[in-house]
Every structure is written in structure tokens, then in C-alpha cells.
A and B are shown apart, each in its own frame.
Chain A
């Protein structure tokens, strides 16, 4: 069970650690704030509660930068 993560220069395959692994869990693992990121699942905008499925492409876009 794998998904592809795209974030800035990162483009990598990652294991889905458990069944209900959500984008929010991924953001926590990456130590990113949901307040500064919007998420796309297979090219479509989704909320952070979305559960990541096998074969998904998850793209994270940072929308808030300091300064």
C-alpha cells in the first residue's frame, strides 16, 4: 500500500502506515501546519480529513510563507 507524495522538490513513493491514514496524519508526520498548506488528492483539492488510498498522488502546496 503506497502513495506518491509531491511537495516542493519532493516527489517520492511512501508507505501508507495504517488503514485510516489521512492527509492530516501525513502533515503531522512531516511537521507541517494545516494552516499553511492546501492538499490535492489525484489532482483535486481535498480537506485534510481525507484518507489516503493505495496508489494516490498527494500533492501539498504551501500557501502561506512568513514575511
Chain B
């Protein structure tokens, strides 16, 4: 057995969807090329951009940082990073420490924002409350708000997240199966908002399978936080993911075809279904909001904060 590209007999990966067999160097190069192709095809970066990487210290965000750094090294963009510390005991600190070390290694501007400092309550404390709405609900909303604020404070022109192919396909299928056509219009490589306070979000890894990102960080010996969030539970996303992965065993191209199909109909969906939200202001924090309170503040009020 030898590498399909260079003939090296030391192979590390068999790509089921194409039959390609790759050695370490050719595998690493293929991942970087794929992300760069997505960036160019979808016009995710403009010269002079300052990109804020949402850096958890996990494999996806560290890979995003690594790939975007190649653009920084060529003076095309500048990079900064934000890490959200949700306050999850015996879990989050390792990721925060790893994120700090990556930012130091690259010499980039980096800030760590904790839920406790920002809102006066950690995720662990929220989960001790009765009648909470589930950890992921709070975590998603607070994290998004913190990242948006950090982007403005750091004068970032784009926010890069580590969403991979599996994340995107799960999002497409979940929203379709739930009939959530509104959310279905919001997926894609680049999310722009009419509210200028919301920085454009980009997903350079959306065409790379999660497994290949895991192998990439191990092959490149990048320090990442491999662990499971203690609040990860049997969610609908988990169930959808299981079904898609089962299908992918017999149909290895199914994730790509789901993404391609969505990309073809995305603009039609947006034109037909996109709601024009009236962007007012949250009366509590002043952030853009479609109701009296933004989502984060409505949660804070419910929590009595």
C-alpha cells in the first residue's frame, strides 16, 4: 500500500469517499488545501481583514487558527482570538490553558471571557437551578453574545468558527427534520447580518469531515483539548448525527452530497423564506434584539440576575 499522491509506503489515511490513500505529509497538505479552497471559493476573507477566531482549544478551533495563520503569515489578514470560559468544573480549564498557549505561540491578541465575570453566574451554577432550560441552550446564547461583543471590542471584521462538515450536515438535517425553515436559511459558509453590530461569521472548515480534522491535529502534533463536555447528553443533534454516520458507512459521499444539495437551494430558500427582523435594541444591554430583550438578557431575567 502506498500514498496515492507521492508513493510513500507509510500511509496514515484511507479516504473512504474517494478511495485515496495518503501519507502524513500529503494528508496534512490535502486538509490545508481544502480549507484554502473553501476560503477562496466562498470569498470568506478580504485582504486587510482582522479575523477573530472563536478558540475553545478543541480540535476544530485550533485547526481553524492554524489554517488562518497561514494567511496572517503572508500579511493578507490579521488574527485575534477569544475563548469563552463557561465555568464547567473539571472540563473547561484545560481548553482555556491550551487556547492561551496557542495564542502565545503565534503572538496574537487573545482574550478569555468567563460567564461568571460577564453575567455573574457560571454554567455549573445555572445547572444547579431548578427549571433550567438545559445547558446547551444557555451556553449557545451566552457564548454567541460574548463572541459578538469581543469582535466589536477587538475591531474584528470577521468571526471564524470551527464548524466542520459533520456540524454543517447535522444542522441542515436537524432544521429540515424539525421544519425549521427560518434556521435553514441561516446556515452556510458565511453569515452576514443587516445589523452592523453583528460581525460576519465564516466557516473555513465546513467541507472537511470531523474525523479528518481530528487526524490533522494528531498528525501535525498540535496541542488540543480532546474531551467530552460533561453536559453533553442525548440531544436531537446527537441522534441525527448517529443516523447520518450510519448512512455514511455504506454511502461514504452522503455528507458531501447533503452539503452540495443544500448549497444549491440555499439562495432560493433565503429569497423565499428569509424574515426581515426589525432590529431594535435590547432595553437592558443595548445589543441588537428583535424583541424588547435580547435572548441573553431574557435568560438573565429568568435567572433573577
- Residues on A lying within 8 angstroms of B by beta carbon are 35-36, 38, 44-47, 49, 61-67
Q: Do residues B235 and A67 form an inter-chain contact, with CB atoms below 8 A?
A: yes
B299 at the A interface (CB under 8 A): no
Q: Which of B11, B211, B217, B235 has the most CB of A within 10 A?
A: B211
Q: Do residues B14 and A38 form an inter-chain contact, with CB atoms below 8 A?
A: no
CB contact under 8 A between A67 and B12, given known A38-B215, A45-B219: no
**Chain A binding surface SS class:** loop
- Residues on B lying within 8 angstroms of A by beta carbon are 1, 10-14, 21, 24, 59, 210-211, 214-215, 217-219, 226-229, 231-233, 235, 238, 245
Across the interface, which residues of A come within 8 angstroms of B233, CB to CB?
67
Bound Cα distance from A18 to B12, whole angstroms: 23
Across the interface, which residues of B come within 8 angstroms of A47, CB to CB?
1, 11-14, 21
Q: Do residues A67 and B10 form an inter-chain contact, with CB atoms below 8 A?
A: no
Known: A36-B211, A38-B214, A64-B210. 7 other contacts (CB 8 A): A38-B215, A47-B13, A47-B14, A61-B218, A62-B226, A63-B59, A67-B228
Bound Cα distance from A44 to B13, whole angstroms: 12
CB distance from A59 to the nearest CB of B (A): 10
Question: Of A36, A45, A67, which is within 8 A of B218 by CB?
Answer: A45
Across the interface, which residues of B come within 8 angstroms of A49, CB to CB?
1, 14
Measured CB to CB, the nearest residue on chain B to A34 is B211
Measured CB to CB, the nearest residue on chain A to B234 is A66
Q: Do residues A66 and B228 form an inter-chain contact, with CB atoms below 8 A?
A: yes
Bound Cα distance from A28 to B233, whole angstroms: 25
CB distance from A25 to the nearest CB of B (A): 16
Bound Cα distance from A64 to B59, whole angstroms: 9
CB distance from B208 to the nearest CB of A (A): 13
CB contact under 8 A between A64 and B211, given known A38-B218, A45-B218, A45-B219: yes
Q: Do residues A63 and B13 form an inter-chain contact, with CB atoms below 8 A?
A: no
Bound Cα distance from A47 to B219, whole angstroms: 12
Q: Do residues A63 and B214 form an inter-chain contact, with CB atoms below 8 A?
A: yes
